[in-house]
Amino acid sequence: MHFHNGHIKLPGVKTYIDPHTYEDPNQAVQEFAKEIEVSYISIERVIGAGEFGEVCSGRLKLPGKCELPVAIKTLKVGYTEKQRRDFLGEASIMGQFDHANIIHLEGVVTKSKPVMIVTEYMENGSLDTFLKKNDGHFTVIQLVGMLRGIASGMKYLSDMGYVHRDLAARNILINSNLMCKVSDFGLSRILEDDPEAAYTTRGGKIPIRWTAPEAIAFRKFTSASDVWSYGIVMWEVVSYGERPYWEMTNQDFELLHGPIETTIVHSFNQLASGLSHPVEVVKKGETASRVEESCISPPQLAITPFPEGGCSDGQKWPPQRRTRLEKNGQEEDKK
């Protein structure tokens, strides 16, 4: 048995360690993230903006290794010490994971400015944007492959004792081979060994459309709430990036709480009747049952293709969906 930083580590058993438990956050960064010499990195172009600064694409050439395409998060000028800690905290989290469906951390730059986090590069960007751009262009097998990849990554996190709490298509990255990888660990928190343990927010904002009813009501997050969020991601994938619950406002959600489960089940039924088994798991009111039969470890998924004119229960698509389908049809006609 090995003792480390107040945690008991068993040989051969890897568990997540919360970087916030370190008295010195820099120690966590040093332990879980490899320092990269800035001269090995070349920044090519800005591809987006994050909470702490710009996100760029670039190249990483380590001595004796092949050059790699990478994504580079930079910490903006004038940062506070807290912002630096929070920024590098995500690297301390990512550095503990090693799975094909979890975004891979290459390393960090902390000894020069700007401070950087370097990860593998995912050519197709965020899953939600990618699906919207390619509405209707994938086979059922390809869509199922995306879902299975996400499920595999989430099962790994759960096995590590880790709750993501912000699982959504916007936080899934997809590469040129259509492989999906879970990313964005800024909001995630540890799940303790105690099965009753959960992370409780302190009045902070939560992604309400992706969040389980019990997490909305009590601000408590568990593996069960991640299962619920995975169900919403299934919805996003089979609907090619539709906004969950369509035109319903966030204010409506605050009034629903209990009835929210009826809403999601009806909407799922509209989307794809072939998802019946995973949906039955996701919609369970008792969180323990949701985890025990967790669709985060899916045996098989089968998706019934959407009817062109409407939903699987015969109803018409909502206006937003119809408009985009019609637009895509017009574009196809022009080709």
- Residues catalogued as catalytic: 166
Position 182: which residue type? V
Question: Kind and range of the H or E element at 191?
Answer: none
Is 73 annotated to bind ligand?
yes
The residue behind tokens 């605050």 is: 254
Contact assessment for residue 115 and residue 50, using Cβ atoms and an 8 Å cutoff = no
Planar angle of CA 137, 208, 127, nearest 5 degrees: 25
- Residue 277 falls in which region: left (phi positive, over 0), alpha (psi -120 to 50) or beta: alpha
Neighbours of 216 (CB within 10 A): 19
Give the Å distances, CA to CA, from 244 to 52, 134, 210, 240.
27, 18, 8, 11
Write down how long the chain is: 335
Residue 180: closest CA among 128, 117, 226, 238: 128
Contact assessment for residue 212 and residue 288, using Cβ atoms and an 8 Å cutoff = no
3-state SS, one letter per residue, for 240-293: CCCCCCCCCCHHHHHHHCCCHHHHHHHHHHHHCHHHHHHHHHHCCCCHHHHHHC
Tell me how far apart the 2 most distant CA atoms of the chain are, in Å: 67
The residue behind tokens 């800005």 is: 46
Q: Distance between CA 311 and CA 318 in Å, rounded?
A: 9
**Where is the binding site for ATP, in residues?**
73
**Where is the binding site, in residues?**
73
